[in-house]
Amino acid sequence: MSAVKVLNLGCGYQTSDRCINIDWSIPVRLKGSRIGRRIAPLLLTGDRLAGFEELSDNVMRHDLRKGIPFPDGSVDAVYHSHVLEHLDRDVVPGFLAEVHRVLRPGGIHRIVVPDLEAQARAYLETLDGALVGATEPTAHEESVHVLIEQMVRREAWGTSTRRPVRRWLENRLLGDARSRGETHQWMWDRVSLPHELEVAGFHDPRVLSNTESQIPDWSSYLLDETPEGEEYKPGSMYVEATR
């Protein structure tokens, strides 16, 4: 563990040995249980099973709806990627307050979210192209899909690809996409997110690239880029602010 204490909240499968990784997803809870590890191959198939088997053991199982389990001012940086957009808009201030609480003065809060502006601009570009016949309607439809599909999705994506009986069973046991935290509840851009951070008491919010950070030696964490040096989640916006 690095001397710099960094929390990786809602990590899912994207973990780093240099962080304290925290998550409460179903695969993480299965991985942390002896019984769960035995039944996972019966519940998961294909890519989901492969992801489960590769899931790091270095994950703290904790429900972040109950707060962040660290004392006031005890960590140097807090990172979360594609988490904030899954929170209901009215719980965002409380979540940001918790991050603010656990950070030391001068600590770094790094946020990665889908870039609403980029998605909206892509939509308008394909719309303009379709209107003059320069863009195929299917390409325009794809831009609409990127913009809103995960906001309106009812069934969890993985479940929708299962065979009928298994699909029915998963929906009955696990619930729909929203109840599993899969849907986007809000979207952010380079104006709204920095403003929200300032309201929460953070200072100097700035939009950066995936390789830029005030966290020392950030590239070695391999959270925003792959070992091959490619952006891990293209189409993202990266924002940092200080406590």
Share of the chain above pLDDT 70, in %: 99
DSSP 189-219: -TTHHHHHHHHTT-EEEEEE-TT--SSTTGG
Single-letter residue type at 48: R
Q: Does residue 124 belong to any structural domain of this protein?
A: no
Supply the CATH number for residue 222's domain.
3.40.50.150
C-alpha span between 106 and 124 (Å, rounded): 39
Q: Which two tokens stand for residue 108?
A: 């770094």
* Residue 143, helix vs strand vs coil: helix
Q: Does residue 221 belong to any structural domain of this protein?
A: yes
Q: Does residue 93 belong to any structural domain of this protein?
A: yes
pTM of the model: 0.91
Q: Does residue 136 belong to any structural domain of this protein?
A: no
- Residues 88, 93, 96, 101, Cα dihedral to 10°: -140
Q: Does residue 103 belong to any structural domain of this protein?
A: yes
DSSP 105-142: EEEEEEEEEEBHHHHHHHHHHHHHHHHTTSS-HHHHHH
Q: Does residue 126 belong to any structural domain of this protein?
A: no
Residue predicted with more confidence, 172 or 183: 183
Domain count, the chain: 1
What is the span of the domain harbouring residue 83?
6-24+62-115+189-242
Q: Does residue 44 belong to any structural domain of this protein?
A: no
Say whether pLDDT at 2 is over 70: no
- 113-153 pLDDT, tens digit each: 999 999 999 999 999 999 999 999 999 999 999 999 999 99
Q: Does residue 164 belong to any structural domain of this protein?
A: no
- 95-107 pLDDT, tens digit each: 999 999 999 999 9
Say whether pLDDT at 1 is over 70: no
